[in-house]
A and B are shown apart, each in its own frame.
Chain A
Amino acid sequence: ILNVEQSPQSLHVQEGDSTNFTCSFPSSNFYALHWYRWETAKSPEALFVMTLNGDEKKKGRISATLNTKEGYSYLYIKGSQPEDSATYLCAFNGNKLVFGAGTILRVKS
């Protein structure tokens, strides 16, 4: 059974703080690692699909890195804003997506 772990489970930060969270996944049979942002009552929104060891991707204030050899990915948010409040999911893609339980981020203004 594949195990995808996300930490922390939840995070409360002040507006303007930078933050990061971790996704750990099996280092074997790796195909891709997906990050999603999921706001309440909305569809999960794809942020990044990462495939290469050492990959670093950026979208605005959000960036992600990937280490396939040791089996982890970091998601960074620079200068958090209240609208960043959401659950951030990662999913390991072997031949199908296996999701972590998510990190709940709450940004206080």
Chain B
Amino acid sequence: GAVVSQHPSWVICKSGTSVKIECRSLDFQATTMFWYRQFPKQSLMLMATSNEGSKATYEQGVEKDKFLINHASLTLSTLTVTSAHPEDSSFYICSARVWRVLDYEQFFGPGTRLTVL
């Protein structure tokens, strides 16, 4: 299957700082990538859809100025958590979509654990 990498795998930062998370498709091109967040014992929740060369589409309740998404190339999307606060501490995971004949698959990165002190 297609491989998606994510960096860093974990990060600890101070409140008020910004953190950038990278998501890369290693052996394929992805025009569409997705960013999810997971709180303990909850489902993966879609935050935004990242489209190469255009603005991201954010889900209801997700602040676009807080979570900046850039998809400047067909293999890289970045999520920047700006002015992070303790409530932003969570597990962030990206995925890239690959279209098949009748449907599509999404391949996931391993995720990033963000802890804001």
CA A62 to CA B55, docked complex, whole Å: 39
Q: Which of A4, A46, A51 contacts B1 (CB 8 A)?
A: A46
Q: For residue A4, which residues in chain B have a CB less than 8 angstroms away from its CB? A: 43
Closest chain B residue, CB of each to CB of A36: B108
**In the complex, which range does the number of interface residues on chain B fall in?**
20 to 34
Q: Which candidate, A11-19, A65-73, A77-85, A96-104, is the interface stretch facing chain B?
A: A96-104
A-B contact pairs, 30 of them (CB 8 A): A4-B43, A31-B103, A34-B105, A41-B9, A41-B110, A43-B4, A43-B107, A43-B109, A43-B111, A44-B93, A45-B1, A46-B107, A49-B100, A49-B104, A51-B102, A51-B103, A89-B44, A96-B34, A96-B46, A97-B34, A97-B46, A97-B106, A98-B43, A99-B36, A99-B44, A99-B45, A100-B43, A101-B41, A101-B42, A102-B43
Q: Which residues of B does A touch, CB under 8 Å?
A: 1, 4, 9, 34, 36, 41-46, 49, 93, 100, 102-111
Known interface pairs A43-B108, A96-B34; 4 further A-B residue pairs with C-beta atoms within 8 A, sorted by A's residue number: A31-B103, A44-B93, A93-B103, A102-B43
